[in-house]
Structures are given as C-alpha cells and as structure tokens.
Structure 1
C-alpha cells in the first residue's frame, strides 16, 4: 500500500488572499475556493488545472512539441529544391546551419534571443517557400525560380490551372497554397522560438551537445563520410541561399549587358530591297508547334507514333510535289514560356528570361517577320489562337494584322488550354488570308496550340469540308480524357503528348497538301521541349525544325546546312542555337548584312 505524506506548504505555494477579506470556511479547501472564482473558469485557469491533473500528458506533449520543432527546422534546412531529388536520404544528414544557429541562440540574452529565433523562423520559412517554387519551376520550365523576374508568371500558372482544372478547382488550389504558406511561416516561427527556449532552459546540456555536434560535423566532413551517396555533413541550406543570391545578381548584371547586345544588329541597317531577295514572290509561313521537342522523336515511349506521322507526312508531301529538309535548334526555353522561344527564333537574340523579352520587344531589333514587312513586298499576318488579350508585341514582330483567339470565328469548345484545334486554326487562316486574292505575297507567323500541356482532352482530325465554325468538335471534346486523369501521370502524359504532336504535324502536312502551291514555303518548328514529367530531367533543349517547299531552288539555297531530307531530322543532324537561325536564314536567301548599332 502506498503511503502519502503531506509536504509543508511554502510561501510560494500558498494561495493569495485579500488582506481585509474574511477567513476561509473551515469546510472549504483553497482549491474549492479557487474553483468558485471567475478566474478559475477562464481558459487559462482550466488549462492550469488540466496541467496540474495530467503532468505525464503535459510532459509528453512538451517533448512532442520539441520533437516536431526539431523536425521542422531540420526539414527546412535539408529540403532539396528539385522534385526528383526529394528522397528520404536527403534528410538523414547533419546540417551545419543547425549547429551555428544553436550556438548563436545560446550566447544571446533573452530578448535578442527571441528576436533571432523569430528572424530565423522567417528565414527558414522563406527558404522552404523558395525551394518549393524551385521544384515547380524545374519541373515545368527546367530552371529555378527567379526572385526578380518570375512573380508575374504565377498569374500564368493560375490561368493554366483554370484551363486544366476549371475555375473552382484552380481557386481552391490557390487558396490552399496561400493557407499552406501562412501555416508554414507560423509553424516555423513557433518551432524556432520553442527551440530557443529549450536551449535556454537546458543551457549546460545544450552547450555540450552543440560542441559535440560541431566536432562530429567537422570530423565527418574531413573524412568524407556519407549516408548513401550523400555526404553526412552538409551546408545544403547555405548553398541554396547562395544560389538564390547569385541568381539575383546575375539577373541584375544581365539587364545592362543585354540592352547593349540588343542595340547591335548585323542586318539592322539593311535596306528593304536587300532583304530576302531569294524569296520574292513566295508565300512564306513560319509555324510553331507547341512543345514539339527532340523527345517526341527519340523517346522510346513517344517516338514510334510521332515517327510514323513524320515519315508518312514526308511521303504524302513528296507525292504532292513538296520536298523538305530538317535539323535541330536548341531552344532558349524549356517546358513553357513559349514566347521566349518565339522571340529567340525570330530576333536572332538569346531570349531566355522575361527581362530579356521585355527589353527586346520594347526596341526596334529586326525580326525575321519584320524583315519581310520592311521590304514592302509582303503582306504580314499573325495567326495567334493562344492570344486572348491585348498583344502590343505585334508591332515589334512587324505584323500588319493579327488574328487572335476571338477573331478566327471559332464557335466550338476549348481543349483545356488550347482555345481551338490546330486544324481549325489553319483552315481559318486559309479562309481569312491565304485563300484570298492578294496584290502581294503573304508572310505569316502561325502559333499552333493543340500540343500544349496538359494534352487532355485532345482534338481529332475531321474532314476539312466539315470544319465550319468548329462546333462539330463539341462531342470530340466531351468524349476526351480529363486533365485531372493525365496531369500527374508521367506514362499517360507521354502517351497523350505523343498523340498531340501527331495531330499538330498531321494538321500542317494536310493543310500543305490541300492548299500549298508552287510559291508556298513553310518553316515549322517546336518552340521548346515538353515538361520534365514527359521529356525527363536530363533531356536536351533541342527542337526539330523543317523547311518545306515545292520550288527546288528554295531548298537548294540551304543545301550547305547539312540538314536531313524529309520531315524527321536524323539524330546526328546539325544542332544550332535557336538564336542563330535568323542570320543563317537571311543570309541563305540573299540578304545583305548592314550593321546597326545604338
């Protein structure tokens, strides 16, 4: 039997009483008296009584809170910034930043320690947010998030999610992301504040533990000890912070350097009559196929269908009297931001950031399309089914008229992000421009969007005579797959991506067979590779490019390029930077260089 003894009550344990109040009734205990006071019914009073009644539970909860705080801090310090490296082994390492942080907190007095803990929590939360943004950008754009330039792209991401998931789903996702960010910041601050208090309460043990951890880190670093294939001692968080700082510094330095580069143009001073004389009288079409990259032709899961389409297209065009040559271009972008690829190809400048894009499009640098306008011998037009708002860049590109998503007469359904099927866009171009009688030949820039992610649902080829206003695509769209069934599945994404490229290429080749003439010259290419979920994390940035014409003289002028005959470039066909194409093309078709500076 347990024996209970009553300990003498100290002055600190005695309940407070009013000096002039009546004495407690002999039948009432101090706790009974306290229970009848308003303060005892307050949440703090109930919490105090609960703690007193459940000391074991309190200890467990305190230990649990400390453990969770440790895990949050270590998780933030060790979190990678790419999805494919997010493995358990990444978190089984000793971060030097945790040791330094503990040492700093141990030497600070109470108030500065609290400030340092809060700032540390904010910093860790910000680093976590940046790492998550990096993950998304590497997954979709093949590069990290740029603190200076990329905030505007979040609006585009929201618009893309609306197309893929619907307005309600995209809104819910955005709200969830905001709430999660707030939660991460709050939790991280609470975690660092709690750990600072624990270190202060157990200072002697904390000092010894911190010194021991520093010794272990130094030894494991010197000896090169590893956990799996990763070093046990790491400064991972510091490296990621340095990456962000260098990225910002490089962005700021690049702005001034690129402004100087954009002011210099090899063909900027060439008179109109000396530009592309080798194409006089020809209808010249530059067509971009969304996300048409090297992976479409070489990835084993995608290539068989795409290769069949390219080879059959080559045969069909040959029967129709056309010949073609194909090569490779290395795009300035990857996975998205198609406008960077378009502007790089047409301007002859390497446009790999939004800052460079804004710089070049606000100037008067000569683009391929503007070169035709400058001659005065071509009517220039843009077919832009993906443009759904004002597009002031039309002036920079030298387009006399632009047909956006609302001016092509389409009355059918959207196919996720794509506002209309490529077949319809090409037929609308024929109806509105190419098929009309004109005083001048035509130069057109056409952006085809059916192969834009998430590749669900996809259109199908229909009889050209039945296209009408596009309403017949309604049942096809309704019978297609849902984006939510595709967007997170790599295998299905590859399958549907391949189908989308086949559809776009088929639309182009059939249009050429149907409407192409002796004076038709078409250059078509991809703007960038598809996202990493489809192309892989180590995929190149190469895209196919093809020149098609009936007049043999057109292809004779590029015979020295060494390109492959047909629509499918050989694996070892020449690879150029996309920014090199403009000058090579202008030179091949007789343009005279005349440098312009400033």
Structure 2
C-alpha cells in the first residue's frame, strides 16, 4: 500500500510541478491535475496490453516534461528566461565548463554523473509508477470508475468557481499547459529564425563608405570595454550599491583630477544572468540578439559591427583582448579585429580565479604592454575591444589590486587567490553572493579606471558597459535587464557630441537617466560621431 501511495504522489507531483522557484511551496503540490483524471479514465477503457504500454510510455513522457520544467526552473533563476528546447542544449556544455572552473573537475564529474543518473531514475520510476497505478485501476474497476467521476466533477467545480488554496488554484492542468507552451515555443523559434534573417540583412550604415564612418573620432585611441555582469543592481541594490556607488564616485573624481570626464546612462541588455556574447554582439551589431540562433545568424552575415566600422575607415588598426576566450574564436572576422589576444597569449602564470582566467588588472597591463604602448607602424590610430572577466560568477575568490609595477607574470596573485573565498561557500549563500558580487564589480571598475588614469592620453576615448545583470539570485527575481554604460575622454569635444543624449555627468548614471535598448547604441554612436547613413536592405 505504501508503495502505491508513493507512486501516486510521484505522478501527481510531476503533473503539477511548476517551472519556477518563485512562490514554490506545498500549495503547488496539493492541486488536482486534470491530466490524472483524464488518464485514469483512459486506462479504465483500455485492454490490458495497450493499457500497460500506454502507462509506461506516459511515464517516460512525463519524466521528459519534468526535466523540461526543472530546466525552466534553472534557466529562469539564472538567465531570467525559460529553457528553449530548440536552441539551449548547447548551453548545458557551457554550464558544465563553468562548474569545472568553479568547483573542480572531480566535483563536476560527480555532479554530471549524478544528474544523468537522476534523469534515468526518474524515467524508470515514473514509468513503473504509471504501470502500477494503471494495474490498480484495472483491479478495482468499479471503485476506480466512481472515484474518477467524482474527481472529474470536483475538478470542473473548482475550475468553474476559481477555488484556491493559499492563492493557488485547486484545479490544475499544468502539464497540458506546458505541452502547449513548448509547442508554441518551438513554432515561435522557427518563425523567429526566418524573420530575423531578413532583419539582419537591413543595415542603416551597411553601404556607408569608410571615409564617412566616425569622421569625428579620427586620430583617437578608441577603446570599447565590457565588464562582466555589471548590471543596474550593482548601482541600485541596497546590499551592493553602497560600495559600488562609492567606488564610481571616487573614480569619477580621480579621473577628473587626471583630466578625464565622463557621461553615463543605461542600456537594456538582450540577455540576463549569462550568455555574455549576446550582450556583446547586440551592442556592436545594433540588432536584438537574444538567443543563440540569432547570434549564429549575425556571425555568418556581413552586417557591420561597430568595431568593424572603425576597420572599414582604413584609418584604424583593430585589436581585441579576450582573457575569457580559451578556444578558437571565429567571431574575430565579424568583429573586424586584425589581432586578438586570447587567454593563452597574455603570458599569465598566476592562478585562475574560478571561471576567470586572470585578474582584470593583469589583462589591462598586458594590453598596455603588448598593444596600447605601441603605436601602429603605419601611422594609423587604434580601436580596441576588451572583455574583462573578474566579475564573472561565482565571485569567489576575487582578485585584489596590487602595484601596477608588481604584476609581472601574474604570480603575485597566488597568495591572493589562496586566501580568497571558496566558490562553494559563496554559491550556497545568497547574501554572501550579493556582497561578493558588489566587491567584484568594484574591483573591475577600479582596475579599468586606474589603467585609464595611469596610461590614458589626450586622444583616449573609453566606452565601457556591462554585458548583462547578474543572476536572479543576486539581482532579484524582478530586476530590470538594464546595465550602466559610460563614455570617458579628455577631449571635451568627444563628450559634446553626446550632450543631447541626456546622460549623467560622471561614471554613475542617475536613476532616471535615459534607458535605451542595447541594440540602439550602435546607430546612435555612429550618428553622434558624424557617420553618414547609406542603408543596405538585402
């Protein structure tokens, strides 16, 4: 009897399982699933062999839906969106790599093995449970028929009257609804792919001659920098904001003393919690790249990136510094970068800081020594793209600033890494995650602005921004997708060009500063600095 009760409980729990941890509680599992009532009626009507086959297949299918619901939970919690069964399977490999960098290979292997085993066990248990329950119904046909009718009447009554327990409707059709949602998501994904291919062929500056691109930035030392997970929450959340805001204000004053001034605003990112490359490509393409298929479409297209616009002028050498890139990066061609330094080409001999291959301060110093301090031999200016990684989750351990002359090959960070927090301790503690996230943003902002203060020239123009908000556990379940963006320069004419944007003076954008979609930045930037539109429509 106890085994049968457990089987029924498992099936009902799988049928009513929500796809979000928000509001998750006992009331979610005390509902009457319509699918159970319909399934019982169907089992009662079938002969033995078809009934057993259907029960087993239904159990495996229910296990599949349960896995999708659990994936939705994880994606909603970390990326602020549900799992897309068409596009997102490749991200599971990225998640495994992240765990390996954060927790080690052994722990990741154990976790991966455990997940696979649990999925297989769930499929077996649900299939056996369904068969057991179907056999029970067949042995007690009369009682089962009456019970099914009563359950159906109760479900219809509760649904019609909208009866609830603790704010949760008693009548549920969670699995059926999930199936419809997944089918619609599949259809919408295929439709979006076809429509976006057409959108990507349209480019307001696609046919603009190089001589008419960014003429007001000729002769400048142009630098675009993304700070990992630098989101609005860092500036406004009561736990993170005090430290981050104090850092932004202090660094604004320090830069002003060195002759640099800044204007800042907000951009709404196309991604949340992760998938940084979607934020990078959205900013640089002027297109809303919110999923992996759109990303692949753009990377295979000739749609002009903002960085490539500088290359097309013929007056800029272009370089990328990507300490987070640890494998081939064919995107280099689309970004229009003549040279890219990846994680293995910056001479680092220090420890990794979880996922981050090296501290931002070290990456910036290497950029200075290998790139910035050396003027292009052909007399051109330079445009650089830097992707900083120290503020990547799990925010443990966090690097600390050292003397710029003491960086060497990075060995100086061994003691700092060893004395830092362990990733497992921070990952498991929401409050500590928020605190350490704030410290990581302070570190990255300090490293970047100290580099500018130390090495920037009268011609240096720095644009830096976040790629996305941190995960929901840190930023909150209802956080915006906004990230700060700032333009910093010594030449007052550079900031005068964007005086009409309504941005805030300094590195810290005001709460009511303008908010644009991230995809709007490319065209606004190109227009502000004198580019002439020559549209490309196909």
Is the TM value for this pair above 0.5? yes
Report the Cα distance in structure 1 between the residues aligned to 2:181 and 2:457, rounded to whole angstroms: 53
- Aligned-partner SS, 1:284: strand
How far apart are 1:86 and its partner, in Å? 2.1
Uncovered stretches (5+) of structure 2, i.e. residues with no partner: none
Q: Would you say the 8 A contact 1:137–1:144 is kept in 2? A: yes
Match of 1:203 among 117, 121, 141: 141
Of 499, 505, 511, 1:571 maps to: 511
Q: Secondary structure at the match of 2:226?
A: strand
| Partners of 1:266 and 1:183 in 2: CA distance | 54
Secondary structure, aligned partner of 1:445: strand
Structure 1 position 594 matched with structure 2 position 534: yes
> What is the CA–CA distance in structure 1 between the aligned matches of 2:375 and 2:394, rounded to whole Å?
39
Larger of the two Rg values belongs to structure: 1
User: What is the 5 A alignment of 1:111-190?
Assistant: 111-190=49-128
Question: Does 1:397 pair with 2:303?
Answer: no
Pick aligned residue for 2:525 from 556, 566, 585 = 585
Is 1:540 the counterpart of 2:480? The answer is yes
Q: In structure 2, which of residues 150, 163, 184 is the aligned counterpart of residue 225 of structure 1?
A: 163
Q: CA deviation at 1:84?
A: 2.3
Task: Give matches, 1:481-560, under 5 Å.
Answer: 481-560=421-500
Question: Aligned-pair distance for 1:437?
Answer: 2.9
1:85 counterpart SS class: coil
Residue 247 (str. 1) matches residue 185 (str. 2): yes
> When the two structures are superposed, what TM-score results if normalisation uses the length of structure 1?
0.89
- Which residue of structure 2 aligns with residue 36 of structure 1? none
Structure 1 residue 527: Cα displacement: 0.0
Q: Distance in 1 between matches of 2:219 and 2:409?
A: 31
**Is structure 2 residue 415 aligned with structure 1 residue 467?**
no
Matched residue of 1:444: which SS?
Answer: strand
Verify the 8 A CA contact 1:79 1:86 in the aligned structure 2: no
* Selected match of 2:265 from 323, 327, 335: 327
Distance in 1 (CA, whole Å) between partners of 2:246 and 2:501 is 25
Count of equivalent residues: 536
Q: Are 1:304 and 2:250 matched, yes or no?
A: no
Alpha-carbon distance, 1:140 to partner: 1.1
SS in 1 for 2:22: helix
Match of 1:215?
153
2:340 is aligned with 1:340: no
For residue 16 of structure 2, what is the aligned residue in structure 1? Answer: 78
1:291 — aligned with what? 229
TM-score (norm 2): 0.99
Q: 1: distance between equivalents of 2:26 and 2:276?
A: 35
Establish whether residue 365 from structure 1 lines up as the match of residue 303 from structure 2: yes
Once the two structures are TM-superposed, the CA of residue 139 in structure 1 deviates from its matched residue by 1.2
Rounded Cα–Cα distance in structure 1 between residues aligned with 2:460 and 2:19: 48
Gaps of 5+ in 1: 1-62
| CA distance in structure 2 between the aligned counterparts of 1:575 and 1:245, rounded to whole angstroms | 34
Instruction: Name the counterpart of 2:216.
Output: 278
Query: What RMSD over aligned residues (CA atoms) do the two structures have, in Å?
Result: 0.6
**Partners in 2 of 1:93 and 1:558 — Cα distance?**
56
Deviation at 1:252, TM superposition (A): 0.6
